[in-house]
Chains A and B, each alone.
Chain A
Amino acid sequence: MTESQSHLVGIVVVSHSRLLAEGVVQLASEMAGPDVRLLAVGGTADGRLGTDANVIAEALRTADDGAGVLVLVDLGSAVLATDMAIESLAGERKADVRISRGPLVEGAVVAAVQASIGQSLGEVLAAAEAAAELDKGVSR
């Protein structure tokens, strides 16, 4: 096994809703196999809808296996909290965290597959964002 295969890109799903984040991770896990670090972050400590930059930062640390972390978010303010979390990692692995602009569900599933086969962070990010073009097979 080469060095690049032994370290897999980690994935963190950030939603305002813990249920949503956990559901997306559950779906993506089915495709990712046992080796990809997939973490769900959602809701506030007291059970409201929301995001918490400190909890996101902790998840980024846990998800990082050495190959970087891709973050998938639900709505805009999750980006603000994730940006803040990334800044708080300054000096650690700040440069190796990227946020996908792509869709949450398809993006997470595609990213999980790409990460599981040892793709780089850039490749996993590109695949997650390209998931916006995936055909759901709905006939018109």
Chain B
Amino acid sequence: MPITVDQLARFVELFAERLAAEKENLTRLDSAIGDADHGINMDRGFQAVLGKLPEISSDSAGGLFKGVGMTLVSTVGGASGPLYGTFFLRAGGALGDTTDVTAEQLAAALRAGLEGVIQRGKAELDDKTMVDALSPAVDAFDRSLDGSLPNALAAAASAAAAGRDRVTPLVARKGRASYLGERSAGHQDPGATSTTIMIEALRDALQPGA
């Protein structure tokens, strides 16, 4: 069963709802090792996305994601604006004007989004960024594609959470947290945390009957 544009819009809504619910928690994580704005910035951006969703979500999967990306670039404010903006713009570019998205097309879109984020932020694995959650999630989704879509999404979400937790002991090498040096070790990364929330929202929005 292909994934519809409505389901992808539901994913965006669910991500926005959970960012709003986790706003304080994300900001608390960011106040420990960053500039204490990640929760506020992401919520601000996705509230703007929710406001624009009626006008951007109509005709195609690519159009939906590009609309989300453009909105994030101009409303988030912090580094996550260009990073999440690039993720959605590149994923949208890969989806194009399709309205019924196959699991393989979704995999290609997630891969394109990941590559965009890496190109934009120049982060590598173990730099302790969103890439440490996103990269294993995309890999796990690819590996699980021959099974059912829900199982592949569950594998992706588990891999994102595992990636997020794996880098907690590490010293951050990118972004504001890198200014703290050794003091960043032992703190959970806010970007890897919001990315895990994103992949979990994708998993839950695309469940049968969701």
A interface residues with partner B (beta carbon < 8 Å): 44-46, 48-55, 75-77, 80-81, 83-84
Contact = CB atoms under 8 A, between A and B. Distances in A.
A50 B82 contact: no
A49 B37 contact: yes
B44 A80 contact: no
B75 interface: yes
Given A48-B44, A84-B86, 4 more contacts: A51-B77, A51-B78, A54-B74, A80-B83
Contact of A75 (B44, B83, B174, B176): B176
B79 interface: yes
The 3 residue pairs across chains A and B that have the minimum distance between CB atoms = A50-B77, A77-B79, A80-B82
Given A46-B44, A54-B74, A81 B176 contact: no
B193 interface: no
Given A77-B79, A80-B82, A81-B81, A52 B175 contact: no
Nearest to A54: B74
B184 interface: no
A98 to B, nearest CB: 17
B85 interface: yes
A53 B78 contact: no
Chain B contact patch, size range: 20 to 34
Contact of B74 (A48, A49, A53, A80): A53
B121 interface: yes
Identify which of A46, A48, A77 gathers the most chain B CB atoms within 10 Å of its CB: A77
Contact of B75 (A44, A75, A77): A44
Interface string B174-206: 111000000000000000000000000000000
Interface in B23-82: 35, 37, 40-41, 44, 73-79, 81-82
Given A46-B44, A49-B37, A84-B120, A76 B79 contact: yes
A110 B77 CA distance: 28
A84 B120 CA distance: 8
A77 B76 CA distance: 12
Contacts of A83: 82, 120
B176 A51 contact: no
B41 A50 contact: yes
A89 to B, nearest CB: 14
A45 B74 CA distance: 9
Given A46-B44, A50-B81, A53-B82, A80 B120 contact: yes
Contacts of B175: 76-77
Contacts of B77: 44, 48-52
